[in-house]
C-alpha cells in the first residue's frame, strides 16, 4: 500500500498527444494538422519503475505497439517525448527521459503536500535506421571542422542571459535551513523542501526567457 493519497499512490495526470493519423491516398494533410490530446488520471505506487510507468501509459492509451526501450537507463529509439510539471512549484516542463529523471521526479513529488504530478507525452517520429548514418555524418563534420582555422566563438546572448538567470535563481532560493541536505530549495506550502537541481533551474530560466 502506498504512503500517499489514502494508499492509492502518487496521482499522475497524464496527457498523451499521438501523431496525426496517416493521410489517405489522394488526400493532402491540412497545414498545422495536429492530433487531439488524450487525458487520463492514474495512481501509481511510489516504488514503481520508469519502464512500468511507460508500460502503464501505453496500455492506458491503447498504443502498446509503440516501442519503448532503455539503454544505460535512458530511452532509446522510442517515439515518445516526455516532460513533467509539479503543480504549485517552479518545476515545469522538466525532461523525463531516463531512470534518473523518473527517480528525481518521484523524490520531488512525494515532498509536496498532495503528491500530484502532471506528465505530458508526445508521440514523435523516430527513424532508428538513420542512427548509424547520422553518427557517420557527425564524425565527418567534426573531422572537417578540425581542419578549418580556429575561430573565436562568442556565446549567444540568450545563453548568457540564461546563465545569469540561473545564478539569480540559485541565490534567491539558497536554502538557509541547516537541517536540509540541499543547497538550493523551493519551500512548498506545507514546509517541505524541494531540491532545485541545475536541470530544474535551467528549465525555469528558459520559461522566464519565453
pLDDT single digits (tens) 164-198:
888 888 888 888 888 888 888 888 777 788 888 88
pTM of the predicted protein model: 0.68
Residue 33 pLDDT > 90, yes or no? Answer: no
Whether the Cβ atoms of residue 173 and residue 182 lie closer than 8 Å to each other: no
* Mean of per-residue pLDDT scores for the chain: 83
Q: Is 191 exposed, middle or buried (0-12, 13-18, 19+ CB in 10 A)?
A: exposed
Q: Give Cα separations from 143 to 130, 133, 150 (angstroms).
A: 20, 15, 13
Average pLDDT over residues 42-65: 92
Poorest-pLDDT segment among 6-10, 129-133, 168-172:
129-133
Whether the Cβ atoms of residue 168 and residue 57 lie closer than 8 Å to each other: no
Whether the Cβ atoms of residue 185 and residue 172 lie closer than 8 Å to each other: no
Average pLDDT over residues 75-104: 92
CA distance 11 to 4: 9
Whether the Cβ atoms of residue 134 and residue 85 lie closer than 8 Å to each other: no
Number of H helices, E strands in the chain: 5, 9
CA distance 161 to 55: 39
Amino acid at each position: 500500500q502506498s504512503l500517499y493519497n489514502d494508499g492509492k499512490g502518487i496521482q499522475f495526470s497524464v496527457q498523451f498527444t499521438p501523431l496525426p493519423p496517416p493521410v489517405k491516398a489522394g488526400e493532402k494533410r491540412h497545414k498545422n494538422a495536429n492530433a487531439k490530446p488524450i487525458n487520463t488520471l492514474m495512481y501509481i505506487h511510489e516504488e514503481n519503475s520508469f519502464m512500468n510507468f511507460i508500460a502503464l501509459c501505453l496500455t492506458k492509451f491503447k498504443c502498446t505497439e509503440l516501442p519503448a526501450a532503455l539503454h544505460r537507463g535512458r530511452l532509446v529509439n522510442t517515439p515518445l517525448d516526455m516532460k513533467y510539471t509539479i503543480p504549485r512549484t517552479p518545476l515545469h516542463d522538466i525532461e523525463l527521459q531516463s531512470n534518473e529523471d523518473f527517480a528525481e521526479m518521484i523524490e520531488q513529488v512525494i515532498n509536496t503536500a498532495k503528491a500530484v504530478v502532471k506528465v505530458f507525452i508526445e508521440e514523435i517520429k523516430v527513424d532508428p535506421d538513420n542512427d548509424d548514418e547520422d553518427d557517420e555524418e557527425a564524425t565527418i563534420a567534426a573531422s572537417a571542422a578540425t581542419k578549418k582555422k580556429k575561430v573565436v566563438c562568442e556565446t549567444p546572448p540568450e545563453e548568457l542571459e540564461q546563465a545569469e538567470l540561473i545564478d539569480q535563481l540559485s541565490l534567491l532560493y539558497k536554502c538557509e535551513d541547516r537541517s536540509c541536505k540541499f543547497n538550493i530549495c523551493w519551500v512548498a506550502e506545507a514546509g517541505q523542501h524541494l531540491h532545485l537541481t541545475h536541470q530544474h533551474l535551467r528549465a525555469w530560466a528558459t520559461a522566464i526567457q519565453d
